[in-house]
Amino acid sequence: MNANSRSFRFSAMGCPCEVKLEGADDDVLQRAAKAARDEVERLDRKYSHYRDDSLVAQLAACADAGGDMHVDDETANLLDFSASLFEQSAARFDITAGPLTKLWDLQSARVPEQQRIDAALAHCGWQRVRWNRPHLHFSTTGMRLDLGGVVKEYAADRAAEKCREARVSHGVVDLGGDLAVIGAHIDGAPWLAGIKTPHDPARPLATIELQRGGLATSGDYERAMIVDGRRYSHIIDPRSGWPVQSFASVSVLAENCLVAGAAATLAMLFGVEEGAAWLARLGLPHLCVDTQGNVNGTLA
Amino acid sequence: MSASKLSPSLAALMGAAAALTSAAHAQTAAEGGTTVGYRFNEYGEDSFDGAAIGSRERYKVYSQQFQLDTRLPNNAGLDVTATHEVMSGSSPWYVLRGADARPVQVLSGATIREHRNELRGSYTIDPGTASSTTYSASYSQERDYRAGALGIERSIPLNAALTLGTGASLSHDIIQPTDAALYDRVRHEEKNTFSAFGSLAWVIDKNSVLQAGVQLNHEDGYLSDPYKLVSVGSDILPDHRPGTRSNAAVLLRYRHAFAHPDAALHLDYRYAQDSWGVVSHTVDVGWYQRLGQGWQLIPALRYYSQQEARFYAPFFGVDEHRFFSSDYRLGTFGAFAASLNVRKRIARWEFSGGIERYHAAADYALGSADSAVPGVLSYTRGFVGLDYHFD
């Protein structure tokens, strides 16, 4: 049987994306890849906080004025999910930490002053948002919503689903290291995902086999900022306004990329000790690497 | 990972993600673009078995359907179906009281071929989402019957896991029986039907959906069958039913998607009761199995049971009866149906085909069979179809 194996690369959500597909009919693969890419780009346009025409920018405009907004189904589902993560993480996972994210913009390579952190904190806090599906109400002005913590993994799952709908059953979607499996290789072999070694990106730390489901990695080894010899991750604890002193990276395997990503992010937010205990209780296969390079977890 | 092994925190995560990752109510494959389809259906009733007078060759219907399903700008969808049917064969006319009070079915002579044309259309805003609105209209015409209908359906999400569905429709039917003068039938009659429904769909987890609904129906006007007669004492009179009929039904639907055999289970139960005394139960079980290489196999089973209308009997004595009918469709009977459908997708084409076998009998009904239902039937139905999708 003639089987095609195709790899489609593009750039979206601020990271390199790849859709790998296998199937007998090349036309089917091309169409599926296009549908997957269109879906990722749609979500990028809609939720990106780097683009002015995005939904988040509209939400920002509304939040500025301190008003009401009616959101669509998809956004409502993402908000419901985020609200649940806020509760499960005891307020560490907070999509209103937008002002803090903006403040810690890693490209400027500067640690912000405490005054500015305090000012940003005054405009954060999911408890300051009134969410009654489908209405969002900001009671404080100057708030921002950042759905980046869930949209990339959601997009990976959606892209995989688009491929399945386009009748492709073998493939994997890779959005900057967050993976959603469409189906194992045609011969039944699993996809192999390499977890990078922090501080040594060229050397794979571990190779994980994926038959189905999703794999997500939360970590600072690619996006950390080093100022005066001190490492600042891009994961901010919204209760203090400062980056979390946590693992160098956490990878989690789950039924889908969304749950894997939420678990990895929550583990990072909990910090090394509480995070490791939480992951053990969670019961999903996982891998954690701390800043000293020690590797732990069920996939280690 | 089986549900029983989920830790509380994992169960919480997966429950929260359910609405975003639901495979059970995934959108239809044609998100963008257009699909055109053709269907050829054949329906044939088994010839009449039992004491009878008249042609035993029962009803046969051949129909062809053309369908267009397309996405329009501004997140809207349009669906149009045109149907042409050709019908022939005899049908139950009336029942005579034979020797030993056993019923003898009299069938009408085989009719000349009748044609029916129908056009249906629906326009949907935000198709495939949990908050969509559909407007629909239809018109059907044959030599002796015309019907037009309008409907509206709305889907409203209540929260991440619950969706409310509501809808209402109105239809107007006109019947002008053939050979009215020859057989002393009514010349021109009409009826109006109003129906409404409400349903709740609950996304239990990413693999299961449960839906519960209520339907209400009310018909007003001429509801008798002008082509049927009834033996009342030694007279043979036209079928005479009340001028109104109200009906209420409750339904439950469960859908469960399985990842390993890549299949879905469909379970449906419907209970209905109406003002004529007809009570019915319907159970449907279907298994949608994907086999790889674009194949899908769908075996299904159905069981139906009905209790007769208050004024049904194969024939009546000389006493005063206000309403009377010997139409088997109002009698006590049960039925089993088994079907097998197949679909195969190749690039932009989808081939489909199926066969169904239905068998009804008075004995199959739940509870005792109150009276004979000589006209009850069995049929075989088959179809082949072809769809083409383009962007």
Q: How much is the ipTM here?
A: 0.80
Q: Taking chain B, what is the end-to-end CA distance rounded to the nearest angstrom? A: 38
**A45: confidence class by pLDDT, cuts 50, 70, 90:** confident
> A195 and A252, same structural domain?
yes
Q: Which of B7, B13, B131 is the best substitution to test chain A (most A C-beta atoms within 10 A)? A: B13
Q: List CB contacts of B365: < 8 A, sequence separation 6 or more.
A: B305, B306, B307, B332, B333, B334
CA distance A273 to A284: 17
Single residue among A114, A145, A176 that ends a domain in this structure? A145
Q: Are residues A134 and A219 in the same domain?
A: no
Mean pLDDT, rounded, of chain A: 84
Considering the domain architecture, whether residues A113 and A203 belong to the same structural domain is answered as no
Residues A107, A206, single domain; the answer is: no
Kindly state the tokens that stand for A7: 């790899």
Q: Is A227 or A54 the better-scoring residue by pLDDT?
A: A227
Per-residue pLDDT tens, chain B, 391 aa: give them: 444 567 888 888 888 888 887 643 343 333 457 899 999 999 999 888 777 787 788 889 999 999 999 988 777 889 999 999 999 888 888 888 877 778 888 888 766 678 999 999 999 987 766 678 999 999 999 999 999 999 999 988 787 678 899 999 999 999 999 888 888 889 999 999 999 999 998 888 767 889 999 999 999 999 999 988 898 888 889 999 999 999 999 999 999 888 777 788 999 999 999 999 999 999 999 999 988 777 899 999 999 999 999 999 888 888 778 899 999 999 999 999 999 999 998 878 899 999 999 999 988 999 776 678 888 889 999 999 999 987 6
- Asked if residue B230 lies in contact with residue B239, where contact means CB atoms within 8 angstroms, the answer is yes
For residue B14, the chain A residues in CB contact (below 8 A) are: 255, 259
| H or E element that contains A276 | helix A272-282
Q: The domain containing residue A76 runs over which residues? A: 50-145
In this prediction, residue B193 carries a pLDDT of: 97
Q: What integer pLDDT is reported at residue A170 of this predicted model?
A: 92
Whether the pLDDT of residue A59 is over 70: the answer is no
Choose among A154, A169, A262: nearest Cβ to B13: A262
Contact residues on chain B for A166, CB-CB shorter than 8 A:
29
Partners of A80 on chain B (C-beta within 8 Å) are: 16, 19, 159-160
Task: State the smallest CA–CA distance between residue A147 and chain B in angstroms.
Answer: 14
Residue A156 lies in a domain: no
Selected residue with higher pLDDT from B49 and A221: B49
Q: Is A77–B206 a contact, with Cβ atoms under 8 angstroms apart?
A: no
Q: Residue B1: its chain A contacts at CB < 8 A?
A: 255
Interface contact flag, B10 A256, Cβ < 8 Å: no
Co-location of A141 and A195 in the same domain: no
pLDDT at residue B176, as a whole number: 93
Single-letter code of the amino acid located at B278: V
pLDDT at B36: 95
Per-residue pLDDT of B113-130, as tens digits, reads 789 999 999 999 877 666
Domain-wise residue ranges, chain B = 122-390
Is the same domain home to A126 and A207? no
Strands (DSSP E) contained in B74-161 are 76-89, 92-97, 103-107, 111-125, 133-142, 145-157
Q: How many CB pairs under 8 A join A and B?
A: 88
Q: What is the pLDDT of residues A252-262, one digit of tens each?
A: 999 999 999 99
Query: Is residue A238, in this structure, part of any structural domain at all?
Result: yes
Of B12, B13, B347, the CB nearest to A25: B347
Contact A76 B160 (CB under 8 A): yes
CA gap B330, B253 in Å, rounded: 26
How many distinct structural domains can be found in chain A? 2
- The tens digit of pLDDT for each residue in A79-104 reads 999 999 999 899 999 988 877 877 88
B122-390, which class in CATH? mainly beta
Sign, CA dihedral B178-B181-B185-B188, equals positive
How many angstroms separate the Cα of A30 from the Cα of each of A33, A168, B2, B263?
5, 10, 35, 26
Cβ–Cβ gap A154/B259 under 8 Å = no
For residues A122 and A141, the model is more confident at A122
Provide the CB-side half-sphere exposure for B161 (13 A, CA).
Answer: 15
Which of B14, B16, B346 is the closest to A255 by Cβ? Answer: B14
Cα gap B239→B91, rounded to integer Å: 14
Amino acid letter for position B322:
R
pLDDT band at A1 (very low <50, low <70, confident <90, very high): very low
**Given an 8 Å threshold on Cβ–Cβ distance, is A88 in contact with B26?**
no
Of the ranges A136-150, A161-175, B15-29, which one carries the lowest mean pLDDT score? B15-29
Question: What 3-state DSSP class applies to B145?
Answer: strand
CB B333 within 8 A of CB B369: yes
Q: Which residues contact A122 (CB under 8 A, 6 or more apart)?
A: A140
pLDDT at A107 over 70: no
Residue A274 sits in a domain whose CATH number is 3.10.520.10
A169 occurs within a structural domain: no
- Does residue A141 sit in the same domain as residue A202? no
Beta carbons of B294 and A154 less than 8 Å apart: no
Is residue A273 located within the same domain as residue A205? Answer: yes
Q: Residues of chain B whose C-beta is under 8 A from some C-beta in A?
A: 1, 5-7, 9-10, 12-17, 19-21, 23, 26-27, 29, 31, 129-131, 157-160, 206, 259, 292-294, 345-347
Tokens, residue A78 = 């993402």
CATH of the domain at A132: 1.10.3980.10
Which one of B23, B31, B160 has the shortest CB-CB distance to A77?
A: B160
pTM of this structure? 0.59
Q: Does residue A8 belong to any structural domain of this protein?
A: no
Q: Which residues pair with A223 in a beta bridge?
A: none
**Residue B13 has what pLDDT?**
83
CA dihedral A206, A211, A214, A219 (to 10 degrees): 0
**Amino acid sitting at position A160:** A
Residues of chain A in Cβ contact (below 8 Å) with chain B: 24-25, 27-28, 35, 72-73, 76-78, 80-81, 84-85, 88, 133-134, 154, 157, 161-162, 165-167, 169, 212, 255-256, 258-259, 262-263, 278, 281-284
Is B10 within 8 Å of A282 when comparing Cβ atoms?
yes
